[in-house]
């Protein structure tokens, strides 16, 4: 089941826009999907800074 999405405004550079459009043209994957994927990568990278439960498996606090 797909999660509900919200609308937001994000400003990107012209170069980012051009590259995303080229990627979209080759893959037919929507630009918005690539932006969401990028956000997920950043959130995963900085997960230790986000509030949450203490994990006893990997030692993160």
Distance between CA atoms of 5 and 16, rounded to whole angstroms?
22
Distance between CA atoms of 18 and 25, rounded to whole angstroms?
11
Residue 56: per-residue pLDDT: 67
What 3-state DSSP class applies to 23? Answer: helix
Query: How is the chain split into domains, by residue range?
Result: 14-47
- Tell me the pLDDT tens digit for each residue of 12-54: 999 999 999 999 999 999 999 999 999 999 999 999 998 886 6
pTM, entire model:
0.75
């Amino acid at each position: 089941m797909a999660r509900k999405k919200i609308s937001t405004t994000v400003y990107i550079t012209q170069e980012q826009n051009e590259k995303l459009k080229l990627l979209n043209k080759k893959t037919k994957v929507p630009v918005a999907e690539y932006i969401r994927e990028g956000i997920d990568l950043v959130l995963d990278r900085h997960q230790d800074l986000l509030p949450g439960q203490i994990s006893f498996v990997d030692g993160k606090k």
